[in-house]
Amino acid sequence: MSSSAKVNEKGLLIILSSPSGAGKSTLAQRIKSWDRNCVFSISATTRKPREGEQDGKDYYFISEEEFRNKASKGEMLEHAEVFGNWYGSPMSPVLSSIDSGNDVLFDVDWQGSQQIKNSSLGKYVLSIFILPPSIKELESRLKLRNQDSDEVISNRMAKSVEEISHWPEYDYVVVNDDVDKTEEKLKIIITAERLRLSQQPGVVEFVRGLTKEFGER
């Protein structure tokens, strides 16, 4: 084995969480564009497909019975009931991705983050919480999106208080006061995490190759 051989890497489970309006979705798209080996986790849901949605692309659409069965067998990394429908992250495609060296990006709240961390794949988790520079700026961003009514914005702001209170449960916390600078910080974090020994299962064989080369000199 040559010392120039590439050390195999294990993919990361990258969790991005934030209150609504902190810029999480924008940052997630930028990370995916930067990391060609990064894929978004596709959730399973019991709700009916909306117009234009495709099974296996937007969601995995399954029955409530099948969903409950998978959840009871531990085949969901995380799951929750939202407005009468179940949503969750199937473990099988995620495991397949990280075994191939691909990172999987999760856009989940603090509860989903806790479930994934407590799963059998928890050791591969990299969790990052995105904070807004101020509450005033957070509300301003929600209004500028022009997507929600005043009532919905008010509800999102109220929910943000609880979401922000869970920041100490994450590996990293980044204040998004400048989206370009925040993007660079996320790239640095992800690059460093990939170099952890636990993320490089091939390093043992690589070092054996180096040792063998010493013996062949």
Packing angle of the helix pair 24-34, 179-194 (nearest 10 deg): 50
Q: How far is CA 203 from CA 124, 163, 168, 200, 209, in A?
A: 16, 38, 32, 6, 10
- Give the pLDDT confidence score for residue 7 in this predicted structure: 60
Q: If we measure between CA atoms, which residue out of 213, 214, 200, 215 comes closest to residue 6?
A: 200
The band of 4, judged by pLDDT with boundaries at 50, 70 and 90, is very low
Listed by start position, the domains of the chain span 13-41+102-215
The band of 30, judged by pLDDT with boundaries at 50, 70 and 90, is very high
Distance, CA of 46 to chain centre: 21
For 144-148, what is the mean pLDDT?
75
- Give the pLDDT confidence score for residue 23 in this predicted structure: 87
For 62-90, what is the mean pLDDT?
92
- Give the pLDDT confidence score for residue 88 in this predicted structure: 93
- Give the pLDDT confidence score for residue 92 in this predicted structure: 92
Q: Which residues contact 161 (CB under 8 A, 6 or more apart)?
A: none
For 171-189, what is the mean pLDDT?
97
Q: How many residues does the chain have?
A: 217
Instruction: Write out the two tokens for 157.
Output: 């702001």
- Give the pLDDT confidence score for residue 2 in this predicted structure: 41
Count of CB atoms situated within 10 Å of the CB of 108: 21
Read off the pLDDT of residues 109-139 as tens digits, 9 standing for 90 and up. 898 999 999 998 999 999 999 999 999 998 8
Homologous superfamily (CATH) for 13-41+102-215 = P-loop containing nucleotide triphosphate hydrolases (3.40.50.300)
- Give the pLDDT confidence score for residue 3 in this predicted structure: 41
Q: Is 80 exceeded by the pLDDT of residue 6?
A: no
